Amino acid sequence: MKNILEAPFMVEMIRTVTNMYAHTWDERNGGNVSLMLDEGDVNAYLDLNAVIRTIPTGFSAPELEGKIFLVTGTGKYFKNVQYAPEVNLGIVRLKDQGRQADLLWGYTDGGQFTSEFPAHMMSHVARLKVDPLNRVVMHCHPANLLAMTYVHTLDEREFTRTLWQMCTECIVVFPEGVNVLPWMLCGTNEIGEATAKKMETARLVVWSQHGIYGAGKDLDETFGLIETAEKAAEIYMKIAHLPRINTITDEQLHLMEGRFGVKGREGYLN
């Protein structure tokens, strides 16, 4: 078997979570990432018949039966992943209609996947129905997006429009906009179900006073989505208390749609 620490998916996961910590999005053990792997990509690195142990998931996801995921661990610090990936990450394969997960690699200290695992899997199910190429769900705590939920209306249209107006590229990067949930208790199936519902219409879901969920085809796309929204929120927080003399108009946003071949969410532009 090849060294799994040299697998492209492993190298990119380690780089990504390290970068997320460096961006201050994942303080302490905050945040989590799940990456769906193709069985063919894992075969060269692991014996898929060698199950280390089985972990109950606490939910049901028959759509993900047999799917394999590389997932950050519960209570783990992203800053430590690059130094001990086998402790802080794990590879699991879902079975029994998603109610059980076979551990194939990792969590060598006896740990398990993030407590947000049900929310991740529910979001994977939702996004795969919209985009069969979706592979990533990413949760983190970007400070400016959190701050924005304290001072801005949580109306999704208005929240999205504000972000689009802060940075020219936003409507190109997330033309479907940003969905928003009110504060909910984290780590529950209820917030997972609510997030998955929101994921049906957008790849970004803000958890008010908590963080954001992003989804995408790969780690780069998902990181970039969150990065762009957070940059726009940072600009908003710097100017929210000031009189706005200039802005990006709806007419200009329509010009961006035409130039880059995107379409802003229906009803969000005048």
Cα separation, 69 vs 101, in Å, equals 10
Query: Can you list the positions of beta strands (E) in 5-88?
Result: 32-37, 53-56, 68-72
Q: Residues 144-147: contacts with CB within 8 Å, 24+ apart? A: 144/230, 144/233, 144/234, 144/236, 144/237, 145/206, 145/211, 145/212, 145/229, 145/230, 145/233, 146/209, 146/210, 146/211, 147/233, 147/237
- The set of residues, in sequence order, having a beta carbon less than 8 Å from that of 255 and lying 6+ positions away, is none
Q: Is 116 a catalytic residue?
A: yes
Which secondary structure element, helix H or strand E, spans residue 206, and what is its range?
A: strand 204-207
Cα separation, 31 vs 211, in Å, equals 9
Cα separation, 165 vs 235, in Å, equals 10
Cα separation, 164 vs 175, in Å, equals 9
| Catalytic residue from among 6, 65, 116, 200 | 116
Residue whose structure tokens are 């880059």: 260
Phi/psi region, residue 148 (left: phi>0; alpha: psi -120 to 50; beta: rest), is alpha
Amino acid in the structure at residue 94? L
Tokens of 207: 């958890």
Q: Are 208 and 183 in contact (CB under 8 A)?
A: yes
Cα separation, 138 vs 215, in Å, equals 6
Active-site amino acid positions: 116
